[in-house]
Structure 1
Amino acid sequence: MQKKSVSRIVFEIINYCIMFLLTAVCLLPVIHVLALSFSSNTAAAAGLVKLLPVEFTTYSYQYVAGRKEFWNAVLRSLQRVGIGVPLSMLLTILIAYPLSKEADRFRFRTVYVWIFFFTMLFSGGLIPGYILIQNLKMMDSIWALILPIAVSVYNVVLMLNFFRGIPRELEEAAQIDGAGHLQTCFRIYVPCALPSIATISLFTFVGHWNSWFDGLLFSNFSQNYPLASYLQTVVVKRDMALIGAGDL
């Protein structure tokens, strides 16, 4: 085995210390929230809970698990993720593949790129978006939570750049063997881009799972809320109750 120099040992020690501190910064808030969830209301409101539960109790979990609205919200979020992530990835791949070609192989490629780029800078706005969903009769439907964010231009740009890094010789070999564009895309490009697809799928999953505002905006009834929207309403009601109690 190669003997490490003193400078290398010092570097590794400093590196491990920095990584430990960064890990602690990420984990400590999560541990604190878990400790709060297993602590009594009195201890949590008094600010006595740090990293360990105070007056340990599972009442919060029993209360949430016993409510029908919570499970409806969980099923709604699972439905949203189950449909939204595959649909978003399919559209992202189908858009990024042709845009990854050179301008001499795909006419008006630059025009389409600028159209997509324009949507990154400007949007229709909140009110026009709401009117559009309402006129399309999608209020309180799962599609109101999926279709407006089905295509993320940022994800398209990531996928496009990854596709452009794939050797062109692979595509030419596939075309010589008689493969069309769809076959080339899904049999050559997609397998080569699995790391990029996995990363973008994770981004899309987190975006759908954590999104709460569109659930409140496009749902007239609480039983149609996804989990994030339901939890947001619970938190707001709790805060308003505390404000009301403080006013008394």
Structure 2
Amino acid sequence: MPTTTRSAGGIAFQIANHAFLAIAAALCLFPVLHIVAVSFSGAGPAAANAVVLWPVEFTVSSYASLFSRAPFLDAFGVSAVRVAIGVALNTALTLLMGYPLSKTRREFPGRNLYMWLLVFVMLFNAGLVPNYLLIKSLGLIDSMWALVLPSAVPIFNVILVMNFMKMLPREIEEAAFMDGASYWVCWRTLILPLSKPVIATIVLFSFVMHWNAWYDGLIYMNDNGKYPLQTYLYTVIQDRDVATIEQANDSATVNGVTLKAAQIFLAMIPILFLYPFLQKYFTKGIVLGAVKG
């Protein structure tokens, strides 16, 4: 068998490349570990900035205090409902729109017009004031629909799905058409099972988008009790939740610093839990979906 030998330059590049990636990973991981360490530390060391990557005076008092607070639990529940509705709506509409757009102009005569409209709305936005007036005129202020309807059709996800479906073998559909199947039957029984990588990709994108969104909650929700989790965390970090911070500062083991760290870490958990299950599909879905067929 032929053997390959690496040059000194190639070996040096590999070492430098691995070192760079290791440093980049450490820089990304450091803030997370610091937040976790602070959340499990006592009030004194956290207030004195004595915590780096390991808890000092280990305690779970911050989490016990946090789960006894109704505002945090209410906000967590609002975000959970938003993610459930938003991801389902995003995924369904994206798949329904991406399939016909993957067809040729002969199969779908209005395809080019729809593509032009999609690109236009992706590049140009009416702005905050018109969007707010539209949501208000529809009576959606303080409603869950104000958080999920404006982003119901993510155009980038539609383009990913469209390009992925373009690359699927045409012979599969042609064989189904010869057996009398309709486009609906082909989409449901053939295309969707073959599109698992891109479906996992858009589910992950939609989940992250809805879970991390905070600004729309601040704009469209007048009732603080209807804030999603990230909007609530924003108010806490900005020290607007004065009663919570003052109550925490009265405790010997919990203060505002440890409480904020615990809330931030709990907000990370759903994404950290979801990503490993979708990661095996993620690279294939985004690469194939981004390549024009």
TM-score (norm 2): 0.75
Q: Which moved more, 1:220-229 or 1:60-69?
A: 60-69
Cα deviation for residue 147 of structure 1 reads: 0.6
Q: Quick one: which amino acid aligns to residue 86 of structure 1?
A: A
Which of 59, 62, 81 is equivalent to 2:61? 59
* C-alpha distance 240-74 of structure 1, shift in aligned 2 (>3 A): closer
Q: Residues of 2 paired with 1:208 and 1:77: CA distance?
A: 8
Contact 2:37 2:52 (8 Å CA) reproduced: yes
What residue in structure 2 maps to residue 129 of structure 1? 131
What residue in structure 2 maps to residue 109 of structure 1? 111
Corresponding residue SS for 1:75: helix
Q: Quick one: which amino acid aligns to residue 63 of structure 2?
A: Y
What residue in structure 1 maps to residue 73 of structure 2? 71
Q: Residues of 2 paired with 1:125 and 1:238: CA distance?
A: 27
Cα deviation for residue 237 of structure 1 reads: 1.5
Cα deviation for residue 178 of structure 1 reads: 1.4
Corresponding residue SS for 1:154: helix
Corresponding residue SS for 2:149: helix
Cα deviation for residue 62 of structure 1 reads: 2.3
Deviations 1:24-69 (A, max 9, x none): 2322221011112122344334332211123333332222211111
What residue in structure 2 maps to residue 46 of structure 1? 48
Task: Please give the residue correspondences for 1:1-248 in structure 2 after superposition, counting only pairs within 5 Å.
Answer: 5=5, 10=11, 16-237=18-239
Deviations 1:191-239 (A, max 9, x none): 1110011011001001100101111111111111111111111111169
* C-alpha distance 34-67 of structure 1, shift in aligned 2 (>3 A): same
Ranges in structure 1 where 5+ consecutive residues have no aligned partner: 243-248
TM-score (norm 1): 0.88
Deviations 1:109-164 (A, max 9, x none): 11110100001111111111111111111111111111111111011111111011
Corresponding residue SS for 2:150: helix
Report how many aligned residue pairs link the two structures.
242
Q: Residues of 2 paired with 1:31 and 1:60: CA distance?
A: 16
What residue in structure 2 maps to residue 245 of structure 1? none
Q: Residues of 2 paired with 1:3 and 1:72: CA distance?
A: 63
Q: Residues of 1 paired with 2:7 and 2:34: CA distance?
A: 37
Ranges in structure 2 where 5+ consecutive residues have no aligned partner: 246-293
Q: Residues of 1 paired with 2:21 and 2:235: CA distance?
A: 37
Identity among equivalent pairs (%)? 46
Hey, which bits of structure 1, 4+ residues long, moved more than 4 A? 1-19, 238-242
Work out which structure has the larger RCO, using CA pairs closer than 8 Å and 6 or more positions apart in sequence. 2
Contact 2:235 2:241 (8 Å CA) reproduced: no
Cα deviation for residue 17 of structure 1 reads: 4.2
